[in-house]
Amino acid sequence: MSGKLIIENLEKVYKGEVETIAVRDFNLSLNSGESATLAGPSGSGKSTILLCIAGLLEPTFGKIISNGKLVNAFTEEELVDYRRQTVGIVFQSYNLIEYFTVFENIAFPLWIAQKSKKEIKERVELLLDELDISRYAQTYPRFLSGGEQQRVAIGIALANNPQIILADEPTGNLDRETADIVINLLFKEAQEHKKILLLATHDEKIIEKSKQVISLEKRII
Ligand SMILES: Nc1ncnc2c1ncn2[C@@H]1O[C@H](COP(=O)(O)OP(=O)(O)OP(=O)(O)O)[C@@H](O)[C@H]1O
Ligand SMILES: [Mg+2]
């Protein structure tokens, strides 16, 4: 799968009682199979950048171009498709559906995308295997450890085979060893399946492992 993500002069200003310039003149270009890590102190705009790329937040200025298409110019309908099919997001909190089994959690985006029962079964079983959680297929999330729950969350993000994976502090709630397992899995999935991976983290060990690190500065205003 080939793809390209270009971010040009991205700026995001939160307007409230005080104006916060969360992101100023951010630029990045990633091809499929490439990854980058956003590093920087709390408040430096990491999550804001990821949310803009995910189509969940509207940039104040600048362009987000996915496969030659300007995401900012998408209609609401196109945005829904883009969020469902082109991007997969992993957050620090796992956001699993507690009354669904592990299998059903990963199947959920595929049901929404109206895939056939056979396609869903094949895709979910492949992901469960790659993420090494097949034994928990019929288990409910509350019985899993944090690292296992995060692997399910990665499965959900990957379910629709998105070109872009966005991960916001994906190991923020995990201990060192579990964090390493989860991050290695994310890198492996991205590389093997030629995804674009953009991570945000404070974790020095993850920053060390990253091929391309983008350091953001703390904003003054
Ligand atoms: N919804 C919002 N409304 C107003 N200001 C916001 C909003 N979300 C974020 N901000 C501000 O924008 C700036 C960047 O926030 P952001 O959450 O992107 O930083 P971050 O690098 O992800 O921080 P952290 O490492 O703590 O997650 C901060 O000053 C924050 O207070
Ligand atoms: Mg953040």
- For the segment 63-102, what is each residue's pLDDT rounded down to a tens digit? 999 999 999 999 999 999 999 999 999 998 989 999 999 9
Residue 45 CB–ligand 1 contact under 6 Å:
yes
Q: Around Cβ 202, how many Cβ atoms within 10 Å?
A: 14
Q: Which pLDDT score, from 0 to 100, does residue 4 have? A: 95
Distance, in Å, from the CA atom of 54 to the CA atom of 69, rounded to the nearest integer, reads: 14
Residue 22 counted as domain residue: no
Residue 144 sits in a domain of what CATH number? 3.40.50.300
User: Is the CB of 16 within 6 Å of ligand 1?
Assistant: yes
| Tens digit of each residue's pLDDT (9 = 90 or more) over 101-131 | 999 999 999 999 999 999 999 999 999 999 9
For residue 13, is pLDDT > 70? yes
Asked whether residue 51 carries a pLDDT value surpassing 60, the answer given is yes
Residue 2, in any domain of the structure? no
State in Å: Cα 47 to ligand 2 middle: 4
What is the atom index within ligand 1 of the atom nearest the CA of 44?
A: 21
Q: What does 83-138 look like in DSSP terms, one character per residue?
A: IIIIEEEE-SS----TTS-HHHHHHHHHHHTT--HHHHHHHHHHHHHHTT-GGGTT
Q: What's the pTM value of the predicted model, to 2 decimals?
A: 0.93
Domain holding 48, by residue range, is: 32-55+74-215
Count how many domains the chain has.
Answer: 1
User: Could you tell me whether strands 61-66 and 69-70 are parallel, antiparallel, or unpaired per DSSP bridges?
Assistant: antiparallel
